[in-house]
Structure 1
Amino acid sequence: MKHLVSLFNNSLLLICMSIIFSACNSRKERIEKQINILYSNKIDIPSSKMEVIVYDSMYLHKKPNYRVLVYLDSTECTPCYVSHYHEWEYILKECRKYEPSISLAIIIETKNLSEDVKEKFLAPTFDRTILIDKNGVFRKRNPFFPESQIMHVLLLDKEGRVILVGNPLSNKKVEELLYSKLRNS
């Protein structure tokens, strides 16, 4: 009887581990698929259809060679994001060491952004473009854009093709890849 109980427990453990591993593989495969879809499409930023808080001078006067796109949707904490805003200044400064023609565009999808949060976005003095998407036009123009927040920061080339997916503020490897891509361009 002990042997049967032990066999049953081992079998149950194997079944549970198989389910966990398949769930992990399924999630990984889903993320890889979404990233591949991003790489195979161009991102369209319909800035004329959005409210502009501030325009990067490079964004306004000429098309930069590269653009870091940060997308914040209504599920993300915009006021929390503002607290990390100064980190983008550092990242952009480092990027410009390798590629001077790069801009930062932040799209905030929200029906209503408080004046307090707008003021916080205006406080830093570095060049960036901040757009408020009140009607979801970015998602309408880019229906393939993933829901997952881990894919809401992109490096785009001049044509809007995705060069890199990932947030350099939260992942040091992505930050190193970002600098490497620009250095080798």
Structure 2
Amino acid sequence: MLKSNSIILHFNEMQAVYNGRDTVNAVSLDGMKLIVFTDSSSCSVCALSRMYFWNDLLGEIKYYDEKLKVYFIFSPLPKDLPSVRLSLSSLHFNQVVHLDTLGVFIDDNKHIPHHPDMHTFLLDEDNNVLLVGNPLENEKIEEMFWQIVEEKLGKRE
């Protein structure tokens, strides 16, 4: 079960991209984390075209500053990498996207189910899974997400 395992994060082995350009991968793993993972079984370009759906939630999460961070990890097939990079350059998405071209995320976390519904999860400060599911796609998950965040970090204003 996913919630009984912690998640291993090796961002230093991934490429960091911001607005289509490679950037320094300066990641602090302190605090809570929301991980949004898209593997090669999903259409990476399709997922990237829907990134703007995250803007409202990202705006609310900013209230928590460094206590809660969101990490987008894409693990495209090598043949899809050029189109993924092209999509990233045209998105104007103001969030770093991590390209896991080596597949380290799934290699380090073999306990993650293959089903895409299980590829978004909230982690505590020790990378233990607190919640599984996409808060954008399920109202109950969103409710539970904010309940956990507010319980651990305080209420939003």
Instruction: Give the TM interval when normalised to the shorter protein.
Output: 0.7 to 0.9
Letter in 1 for 2:53: E
Greater fraction helix = 1
Equivalent residue, structure 1, for 2:45: 79
Question: Aligned partners of 2:110, 2:4: CA distance in 1, in Å?
Answer: 13
Once the two structures are superposed, the pairs formed by residues 1-185 of structure 1 within 5 Å of their partners are: 37-54=1-18, 60=26, 62-97=28-63, 99-101=64-66, 102-112=68-78, 113-122=80-89, 123-126=91-94, 128-185=95-152
Q: In the TM superposition, what is the alpha-carbon distance from 1:95 to its structure 2 partner? A: 2.3
Indicate conservation of the 8 Å contact 1:56/1:103, yes or no. no
Kindly state the Cα deviation for residue 129 of structure 1 after the two structures are TM-superposed.
3.1
**Any gaps of 5 or more consecutive residues in structure 2?**
153-157
SS of the residue corresponding to residue 103 of structure 1 reads: strand
Q: Is the contact made by 1:111 and 1:135 (CA closer than 8 Å) also made in structure 2?
A: no
Offset at residue 61 of structure 1 (A): 5.8
Deviation at 1:141, TM superposition (A): 0.8
What fraction of aligned residue pairs are identical, expressed as a percent? 26
SS in 2 for 1:74: coil
Seen in structure 2, the aligned counterparts of structure 1 residues 88 and 136 have a Cα distance that, compared at 3 Å, is same
CA RMSD of aligned residues (A): 2.4
- 2:47 maps to a residue whose letter is Y
Q: What SS does the corresponding residue of 1:92 show, helix, strand or coil?
A: helix
CA distance in structure 1 between the aligned counterparts of 2:56 and 2:148, rounded to whole angstroms: 17
Is there any run of 5+ residues in structure 1 with no aligned partner, and where?
Answer: 1-36
Matching residue's letter, 2:34:
V
Aligned length: 146
Letter in 2 for 1:157: D
Please tell me whether the aligned partners of residues 95 and 179 of structure 1 are also in contact (alpha carbons under 8 angstroms): no
Structure of higher CA gyration radius? 1
Within 1, Cα distance between the matches of 2:76 and 2:70? 19
Residue deviations 1:83-116, cap 9 Å, x none? 221121211211233x222222111112324444
**Matched residues in 2 for 1:148 and 1:177: separation?**
20
Stretches (4+) displaced over 4 A? none
C-alpha separation in 2, matches of 1:74 and 1:62 = 26
Shift of 1:47: 1.3
